[in-house]
């Protein structure tokens, strides 16, 4: 019989990462001795286990949230409305449980199916490492846990929307600066030995300071023994473009693949369309073949400076892209300065 929910605060110290030239490696960097231990699917470590405790409220276990059913809560989060959904996940606006000890009345809660317990410890550690950075450029993470056959994690709700769906029209300069700020957040993750893997316009959330980068993609931690390109079945062309072609050729995710996604996101934010027109009408399998044979086609409505940033971020040779996401951010900010302000 399924037990009550488990949860743990995402407040953990991150271990030191191997360095190269005075900076930690992100997975996929040349010379990377291997991914940091916290990122591999593994049993929870000693720092994780004491934080776990039962979170049941006496309510009998309900249907797994992965099935199509009316869902009004997970653990002690009461849902108010759905905010959005992605590949196999849903995001809800929920009332803030008093135990979190934060002033906000609501939080955003992401829920996705969990099959078995193998991946949960690695997922909790990954999110804990991100939360421990306490970066103003990364969305604050509060809580992670399991409830029946689902995993959930809570984060700050950004009421201004995302770069993909802002609550008001954004100027071109605001769009540039939002992507640059997300790139700064990605760089902080890279310096801690982490890779985001999920950068896109929907994951750049708007806030009073401009923008924050949402939580990293964690699906690869929940499915042991499977290769993840970042795509689900029936992926749309826009989603496919965000995946560095080198990942499909077997290269591990790292700085370069996140920089590719930043370049694609910047282009979309400035033009409203993708870089691979031939993908629009293709089915998923045909689209992948076309994608690997094609080259990005930046829009004609980009300025020379904008085009130069996009082209550099999407160079076919990862070694010739921006060296870091911070370098990418500096280039975007320089373009934004030319727009005034």
Q: Are residues 101 and 132 in the same domain?
A: yes
Higher pLDDT, 29 or 153: 153
What domain range is 70 assigned to?
A: 6-156
- For residue 101, pLDDT beyond 90: yes
Q: Are residues 149 and 245 in the same domain?
A: no
Using an 8 Å Cβ cutoff, are 172 and 270 in contact?
Answer: yes
Tell me if 26 is assigned to some domain: yes
Tally of domains in the chain: 2
Q: Are residues 150 and 218 in the same domain?
A: no
The C-alpha angle with vertex 239 and arms to 299 and 25, in degrees rounded to 5, equals 95
The span from the CA of 13 to the CA of 165, in Å, is 34
Using an 8 Å Cβ cutoff, are 138 and 306 in contact?
Answer: no
Q: Are residues 180 and 104 in the same domain?
A: no
Provide the mean pLDDT of the chain: 80
Q: Are residues 230 and 281 in the same domain?
A: yes
Summarize pLDDT for 155-166 with one digit per residue, the tens: 999 999 999 999
Q: DSSP of 143-172, one letter per residue?
A: EEEEETTEEEEEEE--TTBBSSSBSS---H
Q: Are residues 215 and 84 in the same domain?
A: no
- Asked which of 1-15, 132-146, 237-251, 289-303 is least confident by mean pLDDT, the reply is 1-15
Q: Are residues 184 and 332 in the same domain?
A: yes
The span from the CA of 273 to the CA of 118, in Å, is 39
- Asked which of 63-67, 72-76, 82-86, 135-139 is least confident by mean pLDDT, the reply is 63-67
> Which residue, 156, 189, 205, sits at the end of a domain?
156
Residue 316 belongs to a domain with what CATH number? Answer: 1.10.510.10
Summarize pLDDT for 191-206 with one digit per residue, the tens: 999 999 999 999 999 9
Tell me if 194 is assigned to some domain: yes
Summarize pLDDT for 162-180 with one digit per residue, the tens: 999 999 999 999 999 999 9
Residue 87 belongs to a domain with what CATH number? Answer: 3.30.200.20
Tell me if 162 is assigned to some domain: no
Q: Are residues 22 and 148 in the same domain?
A: yes
For position 100, what pLDDT does the model report? Answer: 96
Residues 6+ apart with CB under 8 A from 327: none
Q: Are residues 39 and 68 in the same domain?
A: yes
> Which residue, 132, 156, 180, sits at the end of a domain?
156
Q: Are residues 181 and 146 in the same domain?
A: no
Per-residue pLDDT band for 251 (boundaries 50, 70, 90) equals very high
Higher pLDDT, 47 or 136: 136
Q: Are residues 210 and 143 in the same domain?
A: no
The span from the CA of 182 to the CA of 204, in Å, is 6
For position 282, what pLDDT does the model report? Answer: 64
- As beta bridge partners, residue 138 has 213
- Asked which of 13-27, 73-87, 100-114, 142-156 is least confident by mean pLDDT, the reply is 13-27
- For residue 235, pLDDT beyond 70: no
95: phi then psi, degrees, rounded to nearest 5: -70, 140
Q: Are residues 309 and 251 in the same domain?
A: yes
Tell me if 165 is assigned to some domain: no
Tell me if 187 is assigned to some domain: yes
């Amino acid at each position: 019989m399924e037990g009550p929910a488990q949860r743990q605060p995402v407040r953990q110290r991150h271990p030191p990462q191997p360095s190269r030239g005075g900076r930690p490696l992100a997975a996929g960097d040349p010379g990377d001795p291997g991914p940091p231990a916290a990122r591999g699917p593994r049993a929870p470590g000693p720092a994780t286990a004491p934080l776990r405790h039962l979170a049941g409220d006496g309510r009998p276990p309900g249907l797994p949230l992965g099935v199509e059913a009316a869902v009004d809560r997970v653990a002690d989060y009461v849902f108010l409305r759905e905010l959005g959904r992605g590949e196999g996940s849903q995001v809800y606006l929920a009332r803030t449980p008093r135990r979190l000890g934060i002033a906000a009345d609501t939080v955003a809660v992401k829920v996705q199916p969990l099959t078995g317990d193998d991946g949960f410890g690695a997922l909790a550690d990954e999110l804990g490492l991100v939360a421990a950075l306490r970066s103003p450029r990364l969305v604050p993470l509060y809580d992670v846990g399991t409830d029946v056959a689902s995993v959930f994690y809570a984060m700050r709700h950004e009421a201004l929307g995302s770069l993909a769906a802002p609550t008001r029209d954004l100027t071109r300069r605001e769009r540039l600066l939002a992507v640059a700020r997300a790139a700064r957040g990605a760089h902080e993750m890279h310096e801690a030995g982490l890779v985001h893997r999920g950068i896109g316009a929907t994951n750049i959330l708007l806030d009073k300071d401009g923008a924050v980068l949402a939580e990293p993609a964690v699906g690869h931690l929940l499915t042991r023994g499977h290769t993840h390109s970042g795509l689900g079945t029936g992926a749309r062309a826009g989603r496919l473009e965000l995946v560095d072609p080198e990942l499909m050729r077997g290269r591990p995710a790292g700085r370069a693949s996140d920089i590719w996604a930043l370049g694609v996101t910047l282009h979309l934010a400035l033009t409203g369309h993708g870089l691979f027109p031939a993908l629009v009408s293709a089915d998923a399998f045909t689209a992948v073949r076309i994608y690997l044979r094609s080259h990005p086609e930046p829009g004609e409505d980009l300025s020379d400076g904008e085009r130069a940033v996009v082209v550099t971020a999407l160079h076919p040779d990862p070694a010739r892209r921006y060296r870091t996401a911070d370098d990418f951010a500096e280039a975007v900010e320089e373009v934004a300065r030319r727009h005034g302000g």
